[in-house]
Amino acid sequence: MVSYKKLGLVNTKKMFAKAVKGGYAIPAFNFNTMEQMQAIVQAAVETKSPVIMQVSKGARKYANPTILRYMAEGAVQYAKELGCKKPQIVLHLDHGDSFETCKSCIDSGFSSVMIDGSSLPFKDNIKLTKKVVNYAHKHDVTVEAELGVLAGVEDEVQAEESHYTKPEEVIEFATKTGCDSLAISIGTSHGAYKFKPEQCTRDKKTGKLIPPPLAFDVLKAVEKKLPGFPIVLHGSSSVPQEHVDTINKFGGKLPDAVGIPEEQLRKAAKSAVCKINIDSDSRLAMTAAIRKHFAEHPEHFDPRQYLTPAREAMKELYIHKIVKVLGSNNKL
């Protein structure tokens, strides 16, 4: 058993309470590689922001659970090396799919876990979440749960259509499970194709897709039922057009990729939404930089040559999200 406290990590409790009060959201960035981790830490230190570094089941499979755990420990030391005296870094399991996975993460130094029972019937979701909460709280680890199903693919969780969270269920769910935060479904979804073209309108001048607005009425109703309770938004990449254009210009093929407009996330961050998950945007920034680099330097083959601009592009993206969208800068 390794406690996250020994690794210099923190759980989400105080961080979320402060964010809800302060009307901003904590960035939750997924990572799979060293370059992503470095860029996240550099961005958080430069902006003096707390940060959640999250690891999916797929990331654990790709990079190896032990390596990712030590990378998070390294992230704390790296932040100190960069001049941050008291980094606030959370290591979080994203979309945990079983009690066993959550337990294994808690036992190996995670400070926060998500148990995603959103595809289960309401009662089974409560039962599984409660089991994870009971174990996690013994170790002062915080737990994110999910109610309502996002459209698209949630790791192993498949949903044919979006099922918004039912506000009338949230009090019973939060009370019975004891979870520390709740991910809700208000129209976001995972990946770079969040909406089908037929769900959007098209800008007459540019031909670009304009997505439908998020269901802020559902968010408001949830907030009313659970005042001050930390709410989480998954699937919150904005799919920056500049990166999509760069990818397409240099040989990629991402037609009609569309995300959540940043002004909607800004609005959400000012409410009880205190954690916003972003993964796809970092993938797009990285891919755009690498494609551009290869197109301009076909003779290069040293990974450091193309991963340096990729890391820079991700850092720039993270700083933009922190300062211009979530508002978590200067909150350490």
Which positions lie near ligand 13P, rule CB under 6 A? 30, 94-95, 190-191, 234-237, 277-281
- 129, interface contact from Zn ion, ligand 13P, ligand G3H, none, CB < 5-8 Å by kind: none
Q: What is the dihedral sign for C-alpha 93, 96, 99, 101?
A: negative
- Does residue 234 touch Zn ion according to CB under 5 A? yes
* Contact status, residue 77 vs residue 112, Cβ threshold 8 Å: no
- Does residue 58 touch ligand G3H according to CB under 6 A? yes
- 155, interface contact from ligand G3H, ligand 13P, Zn ion, none, CB < 5-8 Å by kind: ligand G3H
- C-beta neighbour count of 168 within 10 angstroms: 10
Q: How far is the CB of 246 from ligand 13P (least distance, A)?
A: 18
Q: How far is CA 74 from CA 71, 102, 310, in A?
A: 5, 21, 20
Q: How far is the CB of 53 from ligand 13P (least distance, A)?
A: 12
Structure-token match 């197109």, residue found: 295
Active site residue 116: no
- Does residue 95 touch ligand G3H according to CB under 6 A? yes
- Does residue 8 touch ligand G3H according to CB under 6 A? no
Stretch that binds ligand G3H, among 1-9, 54-62, 165-173, 212-220 (CB under 6 A): 54-62
* Contact status, residue 190 vs residue 235, Cβ threshold 8 Å: yes
Q: How many angstroms separate the CA atoms of 203 and 215, rounded?
A: 21
State the pairing for strand pair 89-96/112-115.
parallel
For residue 328, give both structure tokens.
Answer: 């978590």
| Closer residue to Zn ion, CB minimum distance, 33 or 189 | 189
φ, ψ dihedrals at 159, nearest 5°: -135, 130
| Closer residue to Zn ion, CB minimum distance, 234 or 292 | 234
Number of residues that bind Zn ion (CB under 5 A): 1
Catalytically active residues are 94
Which residues contribute to the site for ligand G3H (CB under 6 A)? 30, 56, 58-59, 94-95, 155, 190, 279
